[in-house]
Structure 1
Amino acid sequence: MDTGVLVVGAGPTGLTLTNELRVAGVPAVLVDKLPRRSELSRAGGVQSRTLTALDQRGLLEPLLATGNYPTSAGHFAGIGFSPANTAHRLPWRSVPQVEIEGFFERHLAAHGVHVRRDHELTGLGQDTDGVTATFANGAVVRARYLVAADGAHSVVRSLLGAGFPGRPGTSTVIAADVRLSGAGEPMSHTWTDDGYWVALYPLGTDARGRPLRRLVLGGPDAPARDVPVTEDEIRGGLKEVFGSAVELLELRYGRRITNAARQAERYRHGRVFLAGDAAHVHLPLGAQGMNTGMQDALNLGWKLGAAVHGWAPAGLLDTYHAERHPVGAAVLRNVQAQSLLMDWAGTRDPDVVATRELFVALAELPEVQRHLGDLLSGMAIRYEMPGIEAHPSIGRPAPDLRLGEVRLHELLRPGRGVLLDPDDAFAEVAGRRPDRVDRAGVGAATEPLLVRPDGYVCWAGDPDELEPALARWFGEPRG
């Protein structure tokens, strides 16, 4: 084998996965077909669950130190939430995708892992021992496993012949990074009676400290996806909505996006796994596509590490599809609901307008905002696991606990599981897997919990179920 895992695609999903493999001590090769890193920000924000995961790896503070990234309480279909109604320690941050990619690429390079560029995949085969990938430049890589993080038009998925059912795009809107004059609120959604609409989101500042915005511009009779976006088109759309009150100062980049919604039937194909946009595509509302892809990587990374190191219990790799496919399906559903409420196609259908007015009133309720905030951020995820009927914490993200001088999330930085043992009752059972599970010992002000490397609780409550849970998620003891 040339490497343990071959990762195809150096976007946020592939970079996150490669870092997870690095943390797990697994050799990995990361390739991308582009000759250089893209300067396009296809997503513009990081949700609370992803921020927590970055914090678990000690990456959050270094990332935030690279720029000025405003916080937000988020929105659903352009309906903003009140910060008072979100209970997350780490609120949504406006970090453009291009900044995330640059940060991860520098971080990996500092640890000796470099993206192999100009690697366009042309062939793929697998057998009982591994995967063989061939590239247009003549390179051949042999790996134990391969992960497709190569986007919505995934070559890996195509070579596999994997099903990608769903709905094709029926309309387009413009997504652009811009500087504007006269724009008021940090986030605003405005419609006209003719069906033109604009959404604005903060994207921090440029090198000279000037505010940048993500502009989404829609309207009736939108051009096809492959028609280039022009400054005149953006100026015309802004004039339709704002008159002369808001003007375009700079167009950094612009593209057209569609309302296509598709999801792979299976995320695992033998030794090949689909992640990120290779597994699911939808409207980029709330940066859910990027965040869901990064969370795919966080779920899969430690499991591949276990397989490469030889201690993965039977069925562990299959839990990737079992856990992440329902999450992707739920994201597609909420995005489709948002697109309807936003009148994405600019129809100004009276039924849609009336429905939105009713929903806006409902969304003023604090409990509705909390529910939607948890849904969009990923904090509402609960994986199906043995024991979830018996304990409310099992399957959920680990609670934000402070254990003496450290937070629980800091204990996850080595990429191993953590057993919280406040009464010093499980030293012997925890000690059977010292290379996979760390024990946080006496005095922790919490109930006993077993937390996976990706930050999800996989055991709590019944002491008799601890050893089965350890074996289920961390394999049999060595020796």
Structure 2
Amino acid sequence: MDTEVLIVGAGPTGMTLANELLVAGVSTVVVDKLSQRSDLSKAGGVQSRTLEALDQRGLLEPLLATGNHPIGTGHFAGIALPPNLVRHRLPWRFVPQVVIEGFFEQHLAAQGIHIRRDHELVGLVQDGDRVTATFANGVTVRSRYLVAADGAHSMVRSLLRAEFPGRPGTSTMIASDVRLSGIDQLMSHTWNDDGHFAALFPLGTDPQGRELRRLVLGGPDRSLPREVPVTEDEIRDGLRTVFGARVRLLELRYARRITNAARQVTRYRHGRVFLAGDAAHVHLPLGAQGMNTGMQDALNLGWKLGAAVHGWAPENLLDTYHTERHPVGAAVLRNVQAQSLLMDWEGTRNPDVAATREIFTAMTQLPEVQHHLADMLSGMAIRYPMPGAEAHPLVGRPSPDLDLGAVRVHELLRSGRSVLLDPADTFAKVADLWSDRVDRAGQGADTEPMLIRPDGYVCWAGSADDLEPALGRWLGEPR
């Protein structure tokens, strides 16, 4: 075979996966149909759980060093959450997708993984031990596994004829990258009395130091077919309708029409082919949840593919990618659909929606509601279904970043191996049986014992009798 894993698509999902496989020591080829990396951003924020995962790989500080990436203020359906609501170790940041892609591409290239561009997939065949992919340029690549990270219009998904149920788009909005004058807020959601809507988010600065913003416009007369080009006059009219004369368009970099379609594939795994990111789930781009969910798909799948390639994956480990990530994607679709309804994108001014929004806005003043929404949107509320989750509150959740004295947990995870915290120094004998896959640490630390998977999720805690079964369940047979 030409490579162990072929990744189709070089967006944030595909390149996050490529890095996870690099950490796992797996040969990987990444292809993309574009001739060069896009300089446009579909997303603009990185949520807390994704930031933690980047920190666990030693990539967070270098990423944040690429520019000014301020801490964001959360919102649900345009209803602002308190700016001082600090729920998590790493509050979410404004980091445009184009910056993330450029950072990952440069990082991977430094490690010898170069994106193969101008590779448009046209054929896909799999058998018992390999996947053969053919491309329009005549190239054929054979791999043990293939991962579709090729976006909402995934050719891999099409060739698989994978079921992609859900709701088609019923309306469109305008999403554009612009330079404006007359705006001094980092982020805003504004409606006028007629139901026209504008949302603004920072996208950083261009090489000349000029500030760029993502502008989304919606309203009763904004829904046009996706193929209709967006004009500068249309953008200016939308700004004037919502803001009056105080906000002016200085430059339009890019504009497209987005829909409120909401779909998710029935299965994330098809034999040796896996679907991730927008290839697996599509929805309105709210809170950068699509990009973050895709990157977390990759973080979940990467170490499991590594285990399979290296031959120690337990039976059904690869199947847990679907059982763990499909419910997460479904939950994101539900919260985005709820936000879409409350935001009244189409400008219907439905009094029932207005009454619901008024009550919901009042509820967001309650700390319990704020905490629930912040955890949900950040990815920190994820709890994977695992044996033991019903008995211990940590199992299935992201690991706390404990201070173990000389080191913190997120630093231990940079090896890409599992970590067994053993504060009472009682598990040396059993840990030695899996010492090629797990690092034992935390002796003498003020913590309870726990087993943390390479993706940073706790898969065992508490009862000593359950440790050896958990090691076997997640790390395979002992050496």
Q: Normalising by structure 1, report the TM-score.
A: 0.98
1:225-236 superposed matches below 5 A: 225-236=226-237
Q: Could you tell me how far apart the structure 2 residues matched to 1:94 and 1:370 are?
A: 20
Alignment root-mean-square deviation, CA = 1.0
Deviations 1:242-281 (A, max 9, x none): 1101111122211111000000000000000000000000
Following TM superposition, where does structure 1 have runs of at least 4 consecutive aligned residues deviating by more than 4 angstroms? none
In 2, distance between residues paired with 1:425 and 1:230? Answer: 68
1:208 is matched with which residue?
208
Q: CA deviation at 1:400?
A: 2.0
Q: Which residue of 2 aligns with 1:401?
A: 402
Which residue pairs with 2:19 in the alignment?
Answer: 19
Task: Give the equivalent residue in structure 1 for 2:240.
Answer: 239
Per-residue deviation, 1:72: 1.4
- Aligned equivalent of 1:453: 454
* C-alpha displacement of 1:238: 0.3
The whole-number CA distance in structure 1 between the counterparts of 2:309 and 2:93 is 34
1:113-128 matches, within 5 Å, as 113-128=113-128
Contact 2:87/2:375 (<8 A) preserved: no
Partner of 1:196: 196
Aligned residue-pair number:
478
| Equivalent position of 2:252 in the other structure | 251
Name the structure 2 match of 1:77.
77
Q: Which residue of 2 aligns with 1:148?
A: 148
2:376 maps to 375
| Structure 1 residue 193, shift from structure 2 partner | 2.1
Task: Tell me if the contact between 1:165 and 1:264 (Cα under 8 Å) persists in the aligned partners.
Answer: yes
Post-superposition shift, 1:357?
1.2
Q: Which amino acid aligns with 2:169?
A: G
1:85-137 Cα offsets, whole Å, 9 max, x none, are 33111111110001000000000000000001111111101111111111111
Match of 2:429 in 1: 428
Cross-structure match for 1:217: 217
Distance (Å, rounded) in 2 between the aligned partners of 1:135 and 1:69:
38
Q: Which runs of 5+ in 1 are unaligned?
A: none
Give secondary structure in 2 for the equivalent of 1:312: coil
Question: Counterpart of 1:472?
Answer: 473
Q: Tell me the secondary structure at the aligned position of residue 26 of structure 2.
A: coil
**Alignment match, 2:266:** 265
CA-to-partner distance for each residue in 1:313-354, whole Å, 9 max, x for gaps? 001000000000000000000000000110011111111111
Query: Could you say which residue in structure 2 is the equivalent of 1:101?
Result: 101
Question: Aligned residue for 1:388?
Answer: 389
The offset of 1:211, in angstroms, is 2.6
| Amino acid of the structure 2 residue aligned with 1:396 | R
8 Å contact 2:30–2:116 — kept in the other structure? Answer: yes
Q: How far did residue 228 of structure 1 move?
A: 1.4
Tell me, yes or no, if the aligned pair for 1:4 and 1:28 is still in contact at 8 Å: yes
- Contact (CA 8 Å) 2:299, 2:455: kept in 1 or not? yes
Letter in 1 for 2:147: V
- Tell me, in whole angstroms, the C-alpha distance in 2 between the residues paired with 1:309 and 1:230: 53
User: Residue in 2 aligned with 1:68?
Assistant: 68
Comparing 299-308 with 82-91, greater Cα deviation is found at: 82-91
Measured against aligned partners, the alpha-carbon deviations of 1:138-187 in whole angstroms (never above 9, x if no partner) come to 11111000000001111101111100000000111111121211113222
**Alpha-carbon separation, structure 2, partners of 1:84 and 1:192:** 27
433-442 vs 166-175, which moves further? 433-442
| Most deviating of 430-439 and 138-147 | 430-439
Q: Report the TM-score, using the length of structure 2 for normalisation.
A: 0.98
For residues 13-52 of structure 1, what are the structure 2 equivalents within 5 Å?
13-52=13-52
Secondary structure of the corresponding residue to residue 348 of structure 1:
coil
Shift of 1:236: 0.5
**Is 1:337 the counterpart of 2:354 in the alignment?**
no
Aligned equivalents of 2:64, 2:83: Cα separation in 1:
20
TM-superposed CA distance for 1:302, in Å, is: 0.2
For residue 129 of structure 1, what is the aligned residue in structure 2?
A: 129
Secondary structure class of the residue paired with 2:292: helix
- Which residue type is aligned with residue 191 of structure 1? W
Distance 1:215 1:73 in 2: 17
Asked if the contact 2:87–2:374 (Cα under 8 Å) also holds between the matched residues in 1, the reply is no
What's the offset of the Cα at 1:83?
A: 3.4
Given that residues 86 and 370 in structure 1 are in contact (C-alpha distance below 8 angstroms), is that contact kept between their aligned partners in structure 2? Answer: no
Asked if the contact 1:86–1:369 (Cα under 8 Å) also holds between the matched residues in 2, the reply is: no
Q: CA deviation at 1:51?
A: 0.3
3-state SS of the aligned residue for 1:29? strand
Could you tell me how far apart the structure 2 residues matched to 1:357 and 1:249 are?
35
**CA displacement at 1:53 relative to structure 2:** 0.3
Q: Identity of aligned pairs, percent?
A: 78
Paired AA for residue 65 in structure 2: A
Q: For residues 339 and 147 of structure 1, what CA distance do their matches in structure 2 show?
A: 30
> Post-superposition shift, 1:410?
0.9
Amino acid at match of 2:383: R
1:404 match: secondary structure:
coil
In structure 2, C-alpha distance between the alignment counterparts of 1:44 and 1:183, rounded to whole Å: 18
Question: d(CA) in 1 for partners of 2:80 and 2:300?
Answer: 29
* Deviation (angstroms), 1:435: 2.1
Task: Report SS of the residue matched to 1:138.
Answer: coil
